[in-house]
Chain A
Amino acid sequence: MPKNPRRSFLQLSGIAALAGCGAQPGAKTEEEKLPSELGKPIRAYGERSQFETAKRAVPDLKRPQIGSTRTPLAETEGIITPSSLHFERHHAGVPELDPAKHTLLLHGLVDRPLVFTVADLKRLPSASHIYFVECAGNSGGEWKAPGGANAAASFGLASCSEWTGVPLKILLEEAGLKKEGKWLVAEGADACKMSRSLPIDKALDDCLVAYAQNGEAIRPEQGYPLRLVVPGYEGNVNVKWLRQIKVVDQPNQTKDETSKYTDLLADGTSRQFTFVMDAKSVITYPSGGQKLTGPGFQEIRGLAWSGRGVIDRVDVSTDGGKTWQKAALQEPRLPKAFTRFRLPWHWDGKETEIVARAVDSSGYTQPGRDELTAARGMNSAYHYNGVKVWKIAADGSVKNG
């Protein structure tokens, strides 16, 4: 029995009143009329419902071949990003490549330089793994000020797919890797022939020459017909439209590993070959741009990932970082993949700040912005992985904190 029956009555009526409120404005749905006529016939290729609108916002660019679109993270569920919503970052547009004509040349410090057709690669032993791909520039705007208005704007240059292909190790063994081969340089078939160097140890570890993404051929904007998948490493080395791998004894010092994708520190020196993406998380609900319909039950949801392994823990604070609770992590937790976290929450209707913090299997705890700028200054541009605070106003609207 409740100690104070009057209080519990008030609570109950409060809930009733709330429920009443919650159901009033905007919540009145038009009566659903189930169709009595026949539906649409079977069709060869599926499309989403006409009522679904999640999209990659396309910025208005002078040269749309060089730029990016972002995954609307807050409009995805679970850990797989639909291929159609995987972020894009192109430096010279999306080439149209015919898989019947496209080849991969593997040469340099190998015993037998080889040419593989796409069909050849599909004959070889295959592997499928779920990995995130994240652009090194993701959240780069947060270095200057934590200004990203929503999850896509501040964290949307990250996506997660199941990739299928040939382990790169198999190809290197087929070609006979020479012991002087310490690096490789991979090149895409886009107009700028995007190229990046990669240490041979990583190539022999877990890289894939992928031809499929989420059960279908890789989408053109993700590298069709072949993409080098380099798990946990910055997106740019996951070379799309892969056409050539040359084994070499030194990094090639390409423009995108010197001028770009190097991290300028406060003292004027720059870190180079900063491949690994450190642990990161973002709350996708409630997140910037959304509006809570009213006080009461909310499930806080978000994504966490780390290039150094699996996500071991995600702590969530609903009081601006004063206290933290452990979120439930969706299993299986996979290395170098998105991990979905969830936490039940009762919002009291008051203004507050929510924030998540990821811890990975290497013991690394996602830092705050101050910790990052203290270590690297303000001009690093890449590899920002600070926690993201969302501010919830009393009217339920969620903004960048």
Chain B
Amino acid sequence: MAKLLPVILLTICAASAQKYHVGRAATAADIKSTDQFIAPDGTGLPPGKGTAADGRDIYERRCARCHGKQGQGDEEGPLAGGKGTLSTAKPLKTVGSFWPYATTIYDYVHRAMPFDNPGLLDANQTYAVTALILHLNGIIGEKDEMNAQTLPKVKMPNRDGFVKDTRPDTGKKKK
């Protein structure tokens, strides 16, 4: 047994041994400054909080010009509306009618919005604006607080509207 142990240890190490030793070890600081991914289960959501009421002011100053005061769209596309349109001839895909996860709003707004000044919002502002977008779609109340615990629990209306890729669904005919 004592003899076997080093062999086992060796194989375990070998299974994931570095072969080329090129590149340096990433530090916790490297990862912290780069990784801003928010997973649908809430992994990555930072501390902080906000309600739709809190988000009004920043939304009107930073978002409404492009997306409309009520999220109806303006210079750019809407963020609200479109409920019940997905199977019609004129589907309107918005956060409310289409998006499967509320965490995606935080992830996307924090990384990419406002379009011309991305990364502007801090965690509280991002939670607040996220809450406002959810509220404009009638998904949460004006005073419901969004934070790392509550946001992943929000059930989006189209959560079950996504299916697997079943292609090839065409192309089988001619020989």
Contacting pair A254 B108 (CB below 8 A): yes
Interface-lining segment among B19-27, B48-56, B135-143: B19-27
Contacting pair B18 A107 (CB below 8 A): no
Q: Specify which chain B residues have a CB less than 8 angstroms from the CB of A276 in the assembled complex.
A: 165, 167
Contacting pair A192 B111 (CB below 8 A): yes
Contacting pair B166 A173 (CB below 8 A): no
Contacting pair B22 A174 (CB below 8 A): yes
Distance in angstroms from B117 CB to nearest chain A CB is 9
Interface-lining segment among A6-14, A34-42, A245-253, A348-356: A245-253
| Interface presence of A193 (CB below 8 A) | yes
| Interface presence of B47 (CB below 8 A) | no
Q: Specify which chain B residues have a CB less than 8 angstroms from the CB of A105 in the assembled complex.
A: 26, 30-31, 34-35
Find the B residue at minimum CB distance from A185: B37
Contacting pair B170 A270 (CB below 8 A): no
Q: Which of B39, B101, B161, B171 contacts A270 (CB 8 A)?
A: B161
List 22 interface pairs A-B (beta carbons < 8 Å), by A numbering: A105-B35, A112-B16, A124-B20, A124-B22, A174-B19, A174-B20, A174-B23, A176-B15, A191-B118, A193-B111, A250-B39, A253-B40, A253-B101, A258-B99, A258-B100, A270-B98, A276-B165, A363-B172, A365-B174, A371-B173, A378-B89, A379-B89
Distance in angstroms from B24 CB to nearest chain A CB is 5
Q: Specify which chain B residues have a CB less than 8 angstroms from the CB of A255 in the assembled complex.
A: 104, 107-108, 112
A105-B26, A114-B24, A246-B35 given; 12 more Cβ-contact pairs under 8 Å: A66-B115, A92-B115, A124-B22, A252-B107, A253-B40, A254-B104, A255-B112, A258-B98, A258-B101, A271-B162, A272-B165, A279-B171
Which residues of B88-117 have CB atoms within 8 Å of chain A's CB atoms?
89, 91, 93, 95, 98-101, 103-104, 107-108, 111-112, 115
| Interface presence of B58 (CB below 8 A) | no
* Contact (A270, B37) CB under 8 Å given A92-B112, A176-B16: no
| Interface presence of A333 (CB below 8 A) | no
Q: Specify which chain A residues have a CB less than 8 angstroms from the CB of B17 in the assembled complex.
A: 176
| Interface presence of B168 (CB below 8 A) | yes
Which residues of A253-297 have CB atoms within 8 Å of chain B's CB atoms?
253-255, 258-259, 262, 264-276, 278-279
| Interface presence of B150 (CB below 8 A) | no
Distance in angstroms from B145 CB to nearest chain A CB is 22
Q: How far is the CA of A253 from the CA of B95 in the complex (A)?
A: 13
Q: Specify which chain A residues have a CB less than 8 angstroms from the CB of B11 in the assembled complex.
A: none
| Interface presence of A101 (CB below 8 A) | no
Which residues of A219-269 have CB atoms within 8 Å of chain B's CB atoms?
243-244, 246, 248, 250-255, 258-259, 262, 264-269
Which residues of A318-341 have CB atoms within 8 Å of chain B's CB atoms?
none
Q: Which of B16, B35, B75, B167 contacts A111 (CB 8 A)?
A: B16
Q: How far is the CA of A95 from the CA of B18 in the complex (A)?
A: 32
| Interface presence of B61 (CB below 8 A) | no
| Interface presence of B164 (CB below 8 A) | yes
Q: Which of A116, A248, A258, A363 contacts B104 (CB 8 A)?
A: A258
| Interface presence of B149 (CB below 8 A) | no
The A/B interface has a contact count, at CB < 8 Å, of: 177
Contacting pair B169 A112 (CB below 8 A): no
| Interface presence of B57 (CB below 8 A) | no
Q: How far is the CA of A363 from the CA of B174 in the complex (A)?
A: 10
Q: Specify which chain B residues have a CB less than 8 angstroms from the CB of A120 in the assembled complex.
A: 22-23
Contacting pair A195 B93 (CB below 8 A): no
Q: Specify which chain B residues have a CB less than 8 angstroms from the CB of A379 in the assembled complex.
A: 89, 91
Interface 0/1 of B71-101, CB less than 8 Å to A: 0000100000000001101010101001111
Contacting pair A248 B174 (CB below 8 A): no
Find the B residue at minimum CB distance from A372: B170
Q: How far is the CA of A297 from the CA of B102 in the complex (A)?
A: 60
